[in-house]
Each structure stands twice: as structure tokens, then as C-alpha cells.
């Protein structure tokens, strides 16, 4: 079994992902809200029985709660017995990606096809992310022609290994470098790159084509 790691943070993340209160999770797991609060706020772990009940209440696994999946790509679990692939309409795709998070940009650069993760937000119907001005992505996404943007792909997905379900959305459209005189339009675009650094160049993707798929049980 993996070490305790940041158990409390993972409990809170799973609880908030499900939209549950501490009291609701404690009731599901057969423990007191006070004990659950202790686990959330202290660098400690529970006994095996409590961990299994807690994982079940949070619709996850003990392995995930203890951080055992931290360096493992998602999707190692077996597929469900009878998976169904469903095509998603444009409105459902937009609803799924509206909260923002981390997606992947894909484009053809001078060194070949590149696929890179970026933090993004949805702003007035467009995808907005930040990169370093003058950096490789900035250079690769410029056509060198005034008023002409490169068309790129943007992919977002969510994998639920516990329920063996998931969805993915693919967006295609022109990426526009936001000029300084356009920055006022993005005053309320709250997006902070996890990678840090001087990533002050905003790039906006206007969705022209959107396609999505969802895998679920019958």
C-alpha cells in the first residue's frame, strides 16, 4: 500500500468533485464528521477499514486516496463489461469544457507535430490560455502574415477510473494572439498557468468545429 501522502487534500478534492458536504461523506463512510475533519486537516492516515469505507463513499479507490496513482497515466483499469460510445452535440461539449482546467493544444510546428498541456478558461465562447511571449509556442503559432491565424486543435478529457467512464471533447479553430490593445477584452479572463514563469501572452481559440464522445454503461 502506498504511503499516506496528502490524504487530506485528496479527500477534500474527491468530496468537492461530488458536491458532498463533510457530514454527507461521513454518514456514507460510517464515521463521525469530526474524525473526517481530522483526516482532512492533519497529515495522518486512517486504518484500512476506514480507508476502504471512505474510498467507497467518495466513489474512488484507496490506492488513489493514498496518492498511488500520482505518476501513473489514467486508464489502467479494465473496461466495463458493455461500454457504450455516445456522440456529444455541440451544446453538451461546450457545457463540459465550460469550467476550464487543463487541456491540450495540438499543432504542426517546424519540428513536427506538437501536443502540449495548457491551463485554459472559457471566455465569451472562446478558449483562452497563456504562454511565454517570444517562446517556442508563440513563434510556432504565428503565420507571419497580418490578420491570418493558424488553425489548431484543442482537446479536453475527463477519465473516471472508478466507474470506468469518461468523455473527451475536440475543438478546432483559429488561434489568435491577443495584442496589447485588445487586453481590455480579457480583463475578467481568470487563467493561471501551473507552469508559472512569465507567461503573459494570451492566446484565444475561437471554436469552429467541436466534436465529443462519452463512454458509459448501457
Q: What is the pLDDT of residues 167-187, one digit of tens each?
A: 999 999 999 999 888 888 887
pLDDT at 146 over 50: yes
DSSP string covering 62-119: HHHHTTTTTTS-S--SPPPSS-EEEEE-HHHHHHHHTT-EEEEEEEEETTEEEEEEEE
Instruction: Give pTM, 2 decimals.
Output: 0.71
Q: How confident is the model at residue 77 (pLDDT cuts 50, 70, 90)?
A: low
Predicted confidence at residue 73, as pLDDT, reads 67
Please indicate, yes or no, whether residues 95 and 50 belong to a single structural domain of this protein. Answer: no
User: Is 77 within a domain?
Assistant: no
Q: Residue 191 corresponds to which cell in the numbers above?
A: 487563467
Q: What is the pLDDT of residues 84-141, one digit of tens each?
A: 899 999 999 999 999 999 999 999 888 889 999 999 999 999 999 999 999 889 999 9
Please indicate, yes or no, whether residues 16 and 109 belong to a single structural domain of this protein. Answer: no
SS3 124: coil
The domain of 113 spans: 84-216
Predicted confidence at residue 1, as pLDDT, reads 41
Please indicate, yes or no, whether residues 107 and 158 belong to a single structural domain of this protein. Answer: yes
C-alpha radius of gyration, the chain, whole number = 21
Amino acid at each position: 500500500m502506498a504511503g499516506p501522502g496528502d490524504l487530506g487534500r485528496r479527500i477534500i478534492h474527491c468530496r468537492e468533485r461530488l458536491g458532498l458536504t463533510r457530514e454527507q461523506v461521513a454518514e456514507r463512510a460510517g464515521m463521525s464528521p469530526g474524525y473526517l475533519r481530522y483526516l482532512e486537516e492533519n497529515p495522518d492516515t486512517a486504518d484500512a477499514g476506514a480507508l476502504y469505507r471512505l474510498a467507497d463513499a467518495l466513489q474512488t479507490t484507496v490506492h488513489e486516496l493514498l496518492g498511488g496513482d500520482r505518476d501513473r497515466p489514467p486508464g489502467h483499469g479494465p473496461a466495463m463489461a458493455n461500454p457504450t460510445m455516445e456522440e456529444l452535440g455541440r451544446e453538451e461539449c461546450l457545457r463540459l469544457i465550460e469550467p476550464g482546467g487543463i487541456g491540450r493544444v495540438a499543432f504542426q510546428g517546424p519540428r513536427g507535430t506538437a501536443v502540449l498541456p495548457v491551463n485554459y478558461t472559457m471566455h465569451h465562447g472562446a478558449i483562452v490560455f497563456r504562454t511565454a511571449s517570444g517562446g517556442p509556442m508563440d513563434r510556432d503559432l504565428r503565420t507571419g502574415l497580418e490578420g491570418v491565424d493558424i488553425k489548431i486543435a484543442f482537446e479536453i478529457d475527463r477519465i473516471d477510473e472508478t466507474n470506468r467512464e469518461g468523455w473527451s471533447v475536440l475543438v478546432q479553430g483559429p488561434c489568435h494572439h491577443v495584442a496589447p490593445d485588445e487586453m481590455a477584452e480579457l480583463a475578467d479572463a481568470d487563467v493561471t498557468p501551473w507552469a508559472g514563469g512569465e507567461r503573459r501572452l494570451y492566446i484565444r481559440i475561437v471554436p469552429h468545429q467541436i466534436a465529443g464522445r462519452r463512454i458509459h454503461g448501457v
